[in-house]
Amino acid sequence: MLLCLTVSILFLLWLFLWPINALVEAPGEAISLQPMVKIENVQKLKKTKFMITAVSISQAHPFSYLEKQFNPHLSIESTKSITGGQNDEQFSNVQNVYMNNAINNAIYVGYHNAHRQVAKSYQGVYVLSLLPNSDFKGKLEPADLVESINGKRLKQSIEYINYIKSLPKNATLTIQFKRNGKNHEVKGQKREIVPGFNGVGMTMTDDMTVKTNPGIKVDPGEIGGPSGGLMFALQIYSQLEQKSYSFSKIAGTGTIAPNGEVGEIGGIDKKIIAANDSGTQIFFAPYVKPTKANLAMEDEKETNYQVAKKTAKKYAPHMKVVPVRNFKDALNYLNNH
């Protein structure tokens, strides 16, 4: 009897607590942006609530596979497919870089469209990832801030890309960078990254800052990633203009570029569920034309908008999914409905 009880307890502990090399993605929350955005001498919005939607990520256990059978909104993914092989600290740092970049882009777009003073400047580029065959794999880490290559101090990723392209195919590179505020230097060579192409094998994003009048502070708290860009831009613009719309709760997702273009993101089906649970009336979803070439690059062979529309039709029939290609698409919809 005691043996059976012990085995049962051990089985339950294994079922619920034993970590496996996978993560569970589930609908998170729809979070109001108003508490995060403070603009000098500008009142908060009173009638409209802009919200970003989050995907919850948690450690998977054997029980997760059973739970998935009863919850259609859960998915279990390999840890590497979500983190890109980064450790917890690296993954967190990269998500913070993405969020800071999204916020700065959103501030620029919001202020520019509200015809307020805003200027952007570039200080360098952040490392996002390194391909396995890069000579800098293990030398540079995600979220390192590259300040110069071979003593050449450039400001934007496109400048670094063009400079590296101009060098001989096996050129030696000396990269100066900052990690946790401290200066470092590493050496390596261009290598064949894909057949016929030699390079560094590094993805990067610009370190952009903005200066505004009136001043603004945006504090996203623990939220990371780039997918809140569009909604932050709408919040900032509407707050500057003190706009009111016919909707009380507006959710959405999508990256934002300084020119206002909206980009696709991951987990949009789960974000639809999170938005619907919060009572959202409309949901802005990134739109790209579903051409054969575009669909080939999609993980599910469907665009963000296709997945969002299909999910809403089944689980959120009273919520309107609105496709947007850029900031002005979203603004035009709000102003005309």
**pLDDT tens for each residue of 242-261:** 998 999 999 999 999 999 99
Q: Which of 308, 323, 244 is CA-nearest to residue 273? A: 308
Residue 310 is predicted with a pLDDT of 94
Average the pLDDT over 51-61 and give the result. 89
Average pLDDT, the chain: 89
Return the SS3 of 104: helix
Q: Which of 232, 231, 235, 245 is CA-nearest to residue 324? A: 231
Return the SS3 of 90: helix
pTM: 0.88
Tens-place pLDDT, residues 3-20: 666 766 665 665 667 788
Bridge partners of residue 51, in order along the sequence? 32, 251
For residue 36, give the DSSP letter: G
Q: If pLDDT is split at 50, 70 and 90, which confidence band does 266 have?
A: confident
Contact 310, 271 (CB under 8 A): no
Q: From CA 211, how far away is CA 108, in angstroms rounded? A: 9
* H helical segments located in 34-77: 62-70
Q: Which residues contact 17 (CB under 8 A, 6 or more apart)?
A: 61
Average the pLDDT over 263-289 and give the result. 92
Is the pLDDT reported for residue 237 higher than 90?
Answer: yes
Going along the chain from its start, the domains and CATH numbers come out as: 20-76+86-116+214-335 (3.30.230), 121-207 (2.30.42.10)
Q: If pLDDT is split at 50, 70 and 90, which confidence band does 154 have?
A: confident
Q: If pLDDT is split at 50, 70 and 90, which confidence band does 270 have?
A: very high
Residue 78 is predicted with a pLDDT of 87
In a 10 Å sphere around its CB, with 0-12 CB exposed, 13-18 middle and 19+ buried, how is residue 55 labelled? Answer: buried
Tens-place pLDDT, residues 162-198: 999 999 888 999 999 999 889 999 999 998 887 888 8
Residue 335's region, left for phi above 0, alpha for psi from -120 to 50, else beta, is alpha
Q: From CA 101, how far away is CA 256, in angstroms rounded? A: 9
Is the pLDDT reported for residue 269 higher than 90?
Answer: yes
How many degrees, rounded to 5, is the angle at CA 183 between CA 158 and CA 169?
A: 40
Tens-place pLDDT, residues 85-98: 788 888 888 888 88
Contact 26, 74 (CB under 8 A): yes
Is the pLDDT reported for residue 294 higher than 80?
Answer: no
Is the pLDDT reported for residue 305 higher than 70?
Answer: yes
Average the pLDDT over 226-231 and give the result. 93
Residue 291 is predicted with a pLDDT of 76
Query: Beta 202-213 vs 117-130: how paired, if at all?
Result: antiparallel
Tens-place pLDDT, residues 66-77: 888 888 888 988
The share of the chain scoring above pLDDT 70, in percent, equals 93
Bridge partners of residue 188, in order along the sequence? 173
Residue 114 is predicted with a pLDDT of 96
Q: Which of 250, 133, 156, 272 is CA-nearest to residue 208? A: 156
Return the SS3 of 267: coil
